[in-house]
Each structure stands twice: as C-alpha cells, then as structure tokens.
Amino acid sequence: WLIATPDPMVSIGKKCTPYKVEMVIRGYLSGHAAREYKAGKRMLCGVPMPEGMIENDAFPTPIITPATKADEGHDEDISREAIIEQGIVSEKEYKKLEEYTQLLFQRGSELAQAKGLILVDTKYEFGKTSEGEIVLIDEIHTPDSSRYFYAEGYQERQKRGEVQKQLSKEFVRQWLIKNNFQGLEGQ
C-alpha cells in the first residue's frame, strides 16, 4: 500500500480493505507450532507436521499456518480449507496470498542469511485496493512480526538440545506462560 515516505513521520499510501487472515509461515518448529507439537498435535491449521521433530528443527519445506485476524481478542488458527469454505477469502485470492507469502519468506530468508540470521517464522498481512490489487499492508520481517535465530552455532545448539539464540518477542510470551497467562478467559 505504501507509495511514499516524504518524511520519517509521514506515510502516503493506497487505502486497502484488509483480508481477515494473517498469513503465518513457518520454516522451523518453534513457538506456537512447537507448543502444539509438544502437546501431541501433528496437524496445525490443516497442515501436517512430520513425526520425530524436536523443537527448532527445520521443516522439510516451510508451512503456511494462517490465523484469523480478530477485531478483538486473539487471532485463532484456521485452515486454508476453512478460510475458503467460510468465504473469508476466495480460493483464487487465497492461492495468490500463499504465493506472495512463499516468495516473501524466501526473500526474507535470503536477506536474513546475508546478515548471519535464520528467518524462523513470520506473518504477512495483505489488503485489497479499490482496483482489486492484492498488496502487503503491514510491516514485515521485524522482531514484532518475525522470529530469527542466530545462524552461527545453530546446528551445534540443536545437536546438544540447547535453546536457540534468537531475536524475537518469544521471551515475553515465555514469561507470560510461566506466570499462567496466555490471554485465555479468566486469566
């Protein structure tokens, strides 16, 4: 949507109607996916996760695990099929969102690698202009929307079963979980 930034405090862009899904893509079994896996689930958002993985292992190929874009409260996992069946996004447009998601993740991974990082997972938000063009409408590849591991020592830490050094907001989530808060009703 961004057309120009004539000043660091000014953005000029096209008005878009946001899609009510976040396109989450995961290259590694980390964060939410790892918690689901540890709970015995082998399917996330309708996408199978291979047996025998340990936390922070790479998936054979990145998986797209979308979430609803909630107006209030928490976003929730949803499958590709449910998104299409419920008419949240048409099948044709969803295929385009998947394509853009995979291309952005591939490019983001290349840029991260050049900086000694691994792009673990991220989310992309898209909207539609009045002309019908699908465009990216939110920041990408920031610590707020993405998780990174330091590439140096990743393999060694993984072999030893150690926690990966990362850049993300996961430490905040872990503290909240440890203190019995996951944003669930009554907490």
Question: pLDDT tens digits for 42-99?
Answer: 999 999 999 999 999 999 999 999 999 776 666 799 999 999 999 999 999 999 999 9
Can you point out the beta strands (E) in the chain? Answer: 2-7, 10-13, 16-28, 43-44, 47-48, 58-64, 67-68, 117-129, 134-136, 146-150, 166-167
Cα three-residue angle 1-134-20, rounded to 5 degrees: 95
Q: What are phi and psi of 113, to 5 degrees?
A: -60, -40
DSSP 45: T
Per-residue model confidence (pLDDT) at position 3: 86
By mean pLDDT, which of 6-15, 70-79, 99-108, 119-128 is the weakest?
Answer: 70-79
